[in-house]
Chain A
């Protein structure tokens, strides 16, 4: 039920007279409502609505973005909305500008958009230290479902940081490129238009950028998450300077990874969708044999990651680090054992 519109949206209007605003700010005895209102006002000026031409393909052709410099640099998520190299950017006050896509970071799936400004803009600082833990209260600002039009403020959603976990997610058949840690939040941000929006703490500090819509690999559910500011800092600096991203790490090459057979393990045949990874046979003198693996052992984890089926086993094996022993946990009856398999082909 991700596309539920009931959201606890606190869209406080921006239509506040300057006079009443200053009077409210001077009265410190009621911090709750006023500090939220102020925070909304401050944050809205740093958020933009982005409209692209993807509409021709009948995709949602809108998303959100955040100012990351006073000069009009806007950080957003890379997506089909940006495909034509130019987008329409609508500011908090309804002003429209044409944005040029300066550069993209294919690993983080980020894009930097630039609009021309004559005066400095309000922007999010990425170099402020923030402390985030599960339970930290957050506000998400994004144009979910494209509800905000013209000068309307984007929707403000409340929630907490649910967890800080590696992003293992999939979108259709292709996984996310970024696999570092993200903030999972319990505000419903995994919705059209939210990508490129901001997650801030209760003092308005920028915590992260809402990424594109993804399903969690662990739970199968759509996840609400933000790319953390700590992971954004470097790529954004680089993008503003116009430097190319560093070459991708060599771990991508999995062509000559050792296979199950190389380790000397034969699992029971893969007959059902979720065949448990029971060892059927162990090849004599193989790394598995030397480490003491026996038939009928049940493999429960590889390299600390749990293995729920034979297919998980194959997947994790293909992703294991080359040149290092393979740490395997096995269940033998009611006993949990940890063994270390030498990399096959290593000289002894």
Chain B
């Protein structure tokens, strides 16, 4: 059969079938689709007068992928001319705001206040009265699965533009938003989400998970995942916005003890100094069981409940402490001081004697708190604040819960005597470490025979990783690990590793110099490779987890920073060659259980270096300049990461 006769035969067959079908379908009753379509259209007509178009003059909606000067949409919420819209387009304050109503009138508007938590902006129209306000659907009638119609007026001032979907979930993003599958984009950000009878469910916003502030969710436009802030319970917030108060997310200043979000009840791990929880007297170990008498059985439930509140809101927490339970008032804040690690100013060494495990002061940081309290190298630390300390991990855990400025009592054994010392903790510092007194571990190790140079093959990865393993001396300290990422274009160079051998030996460091798996250079996929490499080496060689660091290949490559951001639980030291944060990178806040010191090896006098160190300090990390990037300096610094 040739091509033409195939087409011929098939065409005949189908025409017959369709002909029969068409006859049967004549004057059928309205289908479900037709009825639904009619209902959708009437709902749009109903809300239409309350949907406005907003032109922002002299402002750019430059968020992520979207850069346009176009208008945005808004919803009239009071007859006197209050209009809710989203923060989209308000990243830079517009010189002027012009609102077009459904009847074609154009009115200037002013920005009254911003709800940064829910990414909404309240505007007030000049000279407007008796504007149409649409009915809001009660929260009880907002359920997953029901019709959700997104309405905007950004595409044309003449009429609304719409997208139809369903409510995908309620109570999303810490209880702040409804999730919908209609197409949400700059065409309808700020416009209303309505139900099938035209009642308001919420206002469409560019919210996204893990977003802090700004219109951060625009990368998700038209993705089938969109968010609207429900208006049914928004009245109190609206009143605050109307009074000109900007609303921010309410922060409480605690970290949980467990990583398990379903831990029940949620136990506090640490309390941020000078934060709201600290002011209310909360402390580590307290269990939170309710907020404003709503039970929060898990960490997740607590976060969901807390996410609804704003800064300056007062909430009542129900707390269980040991055998007692009580309630406290906490006033939330918009910003917390970053967490900063405290330090005694010593380096410890685990000394096992015949009787018991002990912690020896291996070294005292010159000018540090321990030095001021006349603690000396060789002292044995027995207790901190009456808590028995038998390993350096115990000591580290105890210090980690303290804050700089706090005074602790150390019980020290020195030459058969036991003395109590009061030590006022300082901020943990990242400054280069210059030995002054005592026996530094490095000196001890330098006499040992040289270690082993080899290639390490991580199963499943093609490119081998050059590795230096220091010699295993009798009674030696555990090894630290320094991963020095190699520039992508270089072939594997045995000389590169040789430069590190002496310093690695002296400072008891294993040095790994991985190359990217593909010749094009470092890519995001290599992060998994380096993580696996790091984990494998740490486990196989019983690496001291407090002395694990990563250093970068060259000044411009962001891979070192990217790796650290993705693996903060592993990395305790970050050595950066670059003096500038790559575009778009925001540093995370320091956290008690993920300490990290930063060494910047770029020119210390450079303004950029100073700025980078400030940027780290601002979010709670100690950072210092390394002056030059010689292996001696970097290895010595990495060795000293066990400072506490």
Contact = CB atoms under 8 A, between A and B. Distances in A.
Interface stretch (B215-223, B579-587, B606-614): B215-223
B122 to A, nearest CB: 17
Nearest to A38: B21
A28 interface: yes
A31 B161 contact: no
A254 interface: no
Contacts of A95: 3, 6-7, 10
Interface string B153-165: 0111001111111
Interface string A43-86: 00100000000000000000000000000000000000000000
B36 A137 contact: yes
A96 B223 CA distance: 35
Contacts of A1: 219-223
Interface stretch (B65-73, B320-328, B382-390): B65-73
B interface secondary structure, majority: mixed
A306 to B, nearest CB: 4
Interface string B65-109: 111111100000000000000000000101110100000001110
B28 A28 contact: yes
Contacts of B68: 216-221
Contacts of B94: 276
Contacts of A93: 6, 10, 14
B396 interface: no
Interface in B160-193: 160-165, 182-183, 185-187
Interface string B28-42: 110111101100110
B279 to A, nearest CB: 42
Contacts of B34: 202
Interface string A5-26: 0100000000000100110011
B17 A202 contact: no
A111 B11 CA distance: 24
Nearest to A1: B223
B37 A219 contact: no
Given A1-B221, A1-B222, A220 B98 contact: no
A308 B95 CA distance: 9
B52 to A, nearest CB: 13
Given A275-B58, A336-B106, A22 B17 contact: yes
Nearest to A138: B37
Contact-residue bracket for chain B: 35 or more
Given A160-B162, A166-B156, A117 B95 contact: no
Contacts of A163: 155-156, 159-162, 187
B224 interface: yes
A218 B162 contact: no
B461 interface: no
B33 A202 contact: yes
B21 A306 contact: no
B98 A31 contact: no
B57 A308 contact: yes
A334 B110 CA distance: 9
Interface stretch (A119-127, A239-247, A280-288, A319-327): A119-127
Contacts of B162: 134-135, 160-163, 186
Interface in A85-122: 91, 93, 95-97, 116-122
Given A91-B7, A163-B161, A26 B24 contact: yes
Given A1-B223, A137-B37, A165-B156, A21 B17 contact: yes
B7 A45 contact: no
A45 B224 CA distance: 30
Contacts of B106: 300-301, 329, 336
A278 interface: yes
A42 interface: yes
A135 B32 CA distance: 15
A120 B14 CA distance: 11
A136 B41 contact: yes
B264 interface: no
B549 to A, nearest CB: 37
A338 to B, nearest CB: 9
A9 to B, nearest CB: 12
Given A134-B159, A186-B183, A329-B106, A45 B14 contact: yes
A277 to B, nearest CB: 7
A221 B185 contact: yes
A4 B223 contact: yes
A305 B173 CA distance: 37
B98 A222 contact: no
A4 B41 CA distance: 27
A202 B8 contact: no
A2 B183 CA distance: 11
A274 B92 contact: yes
A161 B160 CA distance: 11
Given A166-B156, A273-B60, A32 B32 contact: yes
B453 to A, nearest CB: 45
Contacts of B235: none
Contacts of A122: 11, 14-15, 18
A118 B155 contact: no
B14 to A, nearest CB: 5
B239 interface: no
B39 to A, nearest CB: 9
A122 B14 CA distance: 9
> Which of B31, B159, B182 has the most A CB atoms < 10 Å from its CB?
B31
B187 A216 contact: yes
Given A219-B154, A334-B108, A119 B8 contact: yes
B605 interface: no
A331 B98 contact: yes
A131 B164 CA distance: 19
B624 to A, nearest CB: 37
Contact of B161 (A165, A217, A306): A165
B427 interface: no
B7 A186 contact: no
Given A26-B24, A218-B70, A273-B60, A117 B7 contact: yes
B65 to A, nearest CB: 7
A343 interface: no
B163 A160 contact: yes
Contacts of B159: 134, 163-164
B224 A4 contact: yes
26 contacts: A1-B221, A28-B28, A35-B28, A38-B21, A41-B14, A41-B18, A118-B5, A119-B8, A122-B11, A133-B41, A135-B37, A135-B41, A159-B183, A163-B155, A163-B161, A186-B163, A217-B68, A218-B154, A219-B186, A274-B60, A277-B58, A278-B95, A301-B55, A301-B106, A308-B70, A336-B107
Given A25-B21, A118-B4, A274-B92, 4 more contacts: A35-B33, A41-B14, A96-B3, A216-B68
Q: Which 7 A-B pairs have the closest CB atoms?
A: A276-B58, A163-B161, A220-B68, A218-B70, A219-B186, A1-B223, A276-B95
Interface of A: 1-2, 4, 6, 18, 21-22, 25-26, 28, 31-32, 35-36, 38, 41-42, 45, 91, 93, 95-97, 116-122, 133-137, 159-166, 184, 186, 188, 202, 216-222, 224, 273-278, 298, 300-301, 306-309, 312, 329, 331, 334-336
